Structure 1
């Protein structure tokens, strides 16, 4: 079978299994991305979640020596929720980023790549492949851009004409020399809405992100959130969509396509106070199918406490006092202390003074002192 014919048939098959976009590129090195990653390292802009070896991230043949081409795929995910619940006084809600709505996308994209691999093996028995989804070595965006899936926007997301930037990406290196597709011309123009809207200034320039300041990264950390970011995350429990929400290319892109990505509103916008009482087992049972819970419950609960402080939610004071007294985790106790100072009131003040006498952890003591200082300011 001619490779061009195989490529066309694969495109049709991909569509039949729920792949929204497929593109092809060579397995040659990503030299421009290599230079950008080196610059990121020099500036200390990396989050630490990435593969540290730049060569692995930019040289496909280093991962699969027989590699001749790369197949890139994209699956669209929803940008809007049907019947979203509203938070109100006494019943405040947090929010998971859109990329975490519905089924964990790693499993969904991996399933499609596995089906493509099986399809190829039936037609090319000696095919060799290596597939990756998000946590793989290659930079998904660099592959998708060169394969014509979309262009790399100023917000560091791949933007597709059809689905905006609300797409999950995956790729497969293979020894089949598929003819490459043409990249899409960058259509951001002189727009800089994403740069101006970033809550923490993490988008330092077009296409350049200081990941350590990005709320999407900060919500996944497990330690105390640095003071300067505590009032910036709002009610976000995981991730941040601001730079996507303001993007004109995302206007009107609802992407209600795949049932598996449609959110359960009670999971995507959960009540905050009940979150704080969940055991590990309960948390996994309720939220375990979502991509945004891969770091466990501690970051989510810490962020929920900060969200209650953001709302100055008086109804949360009793549970925050309880956690301040009894939780075994210093980060949770300390964040509660800060939140109580932010919310204010006589009971909060009394609890902080009492905690100051009993607390042994130095970091938590500092947070109690911060909470008391906030009470003095209010």
Structure 2
């Protein structure tokens, strides 16, 4: 088998099927990553969303016993919305992170990788391939770094020379021994803009993230959001782009190369109040095709409630009162009570007081007390 020619054929084919970058890496153990993951685990910096053991995440042959190489692919996505809708005082809007603006990237990349796998299979009938996109055991970023797609920045994102960090990543493990590509030189230098800009200090140091403090992770949790993060959330409904937005490598970067990942303005920047009343069916029909829907509507509704508090939106008081009194989910009732307290109208305060007499959930009662406490402080200052 002429692997050099096959490699070139794969590169040429990848361009035809809408892959913006492709790189080839060895399937050797990711030793440095393994040590880093052990440190993350010992410090409780992991999100809990990670799949597999540390060994499975760093030893490719545990996933494909005959593994020889890993192909890494990247697809660029937009950083700006054309004709973006603007919120008004009567209709405030939230924001989904850029990685969730178009069709779910897991679907988009998997489709490209499956085409790539079929192409390889036609050329080499006994080839073994295993595809992964984000939810697999391997670290997409570690593979991409080794394959020369880009370097791992201080913001823990892969930064490519062409597209900055606005790229989706996926990989294909194979038993074909391709010549590996060379890594890209790290060029963050002394820059620490991402570390300084992180709203919650989740970037502990360059290249190390405490996921438990990362707003991107926190927007995906289902319980009550810790008080210290609620104000920092702003109007984020899902994800956080701050560390990418401030990165000098992303200045003027905005690629619109693939129709599937083009942002739908009304979904990327949704009106907040309608999100409070959305049914399961409506949620699935409206948001089911984007990556930000994977945890269901509850986290997004909670975040929308907090965003309304961020705006101190008095036009949302009636809806929030209805939720606080009638929603069957304690997290949503309690968050609504907290937000009503932040908004602070007389109607909101009175509603909290009335609802407390009927509320049976201890956590919700705590949130109601917090809501009332905001007003007590205002009256004493």
Q: TM-score, normalised by structure 1?
A: 0.99
Q: Residues 341 and 349 of structure 2 are in contact (CA less than 8 Å); yes or no, is this contact kept in structure 1?
A: yes
Q: Does 1:365 align with 2:326?
A: no
In structure 1, how many angstroms separate the alpha carbons of the residues matched to 2:44 and 2:343?
35
Q: 2:51 and 2:289 mapped to 1: Cα distance?
A: 24
CA contact (8 A) 2:52 2:137 kept: no
Q: Deviations over 1:102-127 (max 9, x none)?
A: 10000000001100011011110000
Q: Secondary structure at the match of 2:118?
A: helix
| Distance (Å, rounded) in 1 between the aligned partners of 2:317 and 2:146 | 52
- Return the alpha-carbon distance in structure 1 between the equivalents of residues 321 and 77 of structure 2: 39
User: How far apart, in 2, do the equivalents of 1:290 and 1:375 lie?
Assistant: 39
Q: In structure 2, what is the Cα distance between the partners aligned to 1:29 and 1:374?
A: 53
- How many Å separate the matches in 2 of 1:129 and 1:118? 9
* Deviation of 1:345 (Å): 1.1
Match for residue 182 of structure 2? 182
Tell me how far 1:52 sits from its aligned partner: 4.5
CA–CA separation in structure 1 for the residues paired with 2:305 and 2:52: 32
The answer to whether the aligner puts 1:299 opposite 2:290 as a matched pair is no
Aligned residue pair count: 378
The residue correspondences of 1:96-245 to structure 2 (distance < 5 A) are 96-245=96-245
Aligned to 1:20: 20
TM-score when normalising by structure 2: 0.99
Supply the RMSD in Å over aligned alpha carbons: 0.6
Corresponding position: 1:55 with 2:38: no
* Aligned counterparts of 1:263 and 1:73: Cα–Cα separation in 2: 21
Question: Counterpart in 2 of 1:91?
Answer: 91
Q: Where does residue 80 of structure 1 map in the other structure?
A: 80
Within 1, Cα distance between the matches of 2:315 and 2:322? Answer: 13
Partner of 1:323: 323
Output one character per residue of 1:205-254: Cα deviation in whole Å (capped at 9) or x when no partner. Answer: 00000000000000000000001000001000000000000000001110
Give CA deviations for 1:328-368 in whole Å, capped at 9, x if unaligned: 00000000000000000110111010011010000000000
C-alpha distance in 1, partners of 2:252/2:4? 35
Cα distance change on mapping 1:52 and 1:42 into 2, 3 Å: farther
- CA offsets 1:269-310 (integer angstroms, 9 cap, x no match): 000001101010110001100000100000000000000000
1:273 alignment partner in structure 2: 273
Structure 1: which 5+ residue stretches go unaligned?
A: none
- Answer yes or no: is 1:337 the counterpart of 2:337: yes
1:260 maps to what in 2?
260
